[in-house]
A and B are shown apart, each in its own frame.
Chain A
Amino acid sequence: MDTNDFLNNLGGSNSILSFNFLSLLKLPIILILMGNTFFSLLLFLRVRILADTFKTPQNKIVKTIILLYTIMVAVGTLLSLLFVILT
């Protein structure tokens, strides 16, 4: 094996290392996405309870914000999962 072959093999091993890193990152991302979705649902439910405890005209705005947020998180999570699967 000459010097050029040796150097080419070094390059090859780098790409394997990168591929492993990406695979390793997939699982934590999926778990974080699931956790975030669960968090958004819990926040949505908590706001419903708190809106009954503390009633103000502004509650409507807060409820709308939370609803939009929950939808955004659901869509974002689905898209992220799709991209993770495509990788």
Chain B
Amino acid sequence: MFTYMAKRENRNLVPKKFRKLRKSFLDNLQQDNNDSFMSFPKNLTFYGKEKDENVVLIVRSHWIIYVPYIGIALSILLIPILIQIVISGLAQSTPFFLALFLSCLTISFSIIVYAYVRWFYNVNIITDRRVIDLDFTTVVSHSLAEARLEKIEDVSHKQLGALGSIFDVGTVYVQTAGATAEIEFDNIPRPREVQDILYDLLESRQKGEI
């Protein structure tokens, strides 16, 4: 399900104003595009997007982060069997077993759908003017943080653990001027390249090339 829509987007249509730039990030952008790392997505907008603003990159968390959700969902499906083993009377009560099984099935399905929606809407957007971090934290809350490229002071990334090494997953930290909270791109694929893209965009912005 996480990669189902990967080929639907018409990607890599580099806008005119970027074609004249001689920056390494353009080469990085066009390699290995998927739903977690998509350059120049077509027909993508967001709340407050300016008319001539171009979306350069959208990055989502790596799918490996959501594997535990699938594990938990599958474990919940085993609960009716375990309860049947523990309580002998349950074997004689088919309606109760069915009720328990259906309950566990709907809960498992809820967990998988929740993981998918979290993955889809935990999105980081890099445009030629700003960076946006949309976080779907819980089912009752979400947050949207953004910073203009001019306000960015420092970009760094951190790669931790075995998963980070195996799947090239890491967190990119965008430090902005003033009291604004730091923007974090959590557990994204190819963090080093995202950092490079942001630095090149900052440089081009400062020179007035974009």
Q: Residues of A at under 8 Å CB distance from B? A: 14-15, 17-19, 21-22, 25, 29, 32-33, 36, 39-40, 42-43, 46-47, 49-50, 52-58, 61-62, 65-66, 69, 72-73, 76-77, 79-84, 86-87
Q: When A42-B139, A54-B134, A61-B5 are in contact, do A83 and B99 touch as well, CB less than 8 Å? A: yes
Q: How many residues of B are in contact with the other chain, CB < 8 A?
A: 41
Contact between A80 and B99, CB atoms less than 8 A apart: yes
Complex partner residue of B142 from A32, A46, A83, A84, CB under 8 angstroms? A46
B178 near A: Cβ within 8 Å? no
Q: Is the interface of A mostly helix, strand, loop or mixed?
A: helix
> How far apart are the CA atoms of A66 and B8 in the complex, in Å?
20
In-complex Cβ contact of A76 among B46, B89, B105, B125 (8 A): B105
Among B47, B88, B95, the residue within 8 A (CB) of A53 is B47
B67 is an interface residue with CB less than 8 A from chain A: no
Q: Would B88 and A18 count as touching, CB distance under 8 A? A: yes
Q: Once the chains bind, are B140 and A50 in contact (CB under 8 Å)?
A: no
Tell me if B179 counts as interface (CB < 8 A to partner A): no
Is residue B64 contacting chain A, with contact meaning CB distance below 8 A?
no
Can you sample 6 A-B contacts with CB below 8 Å?
Answer: A25-B96, A25-B100, A50-B136, A53-B144, A54-B134, A83-B99
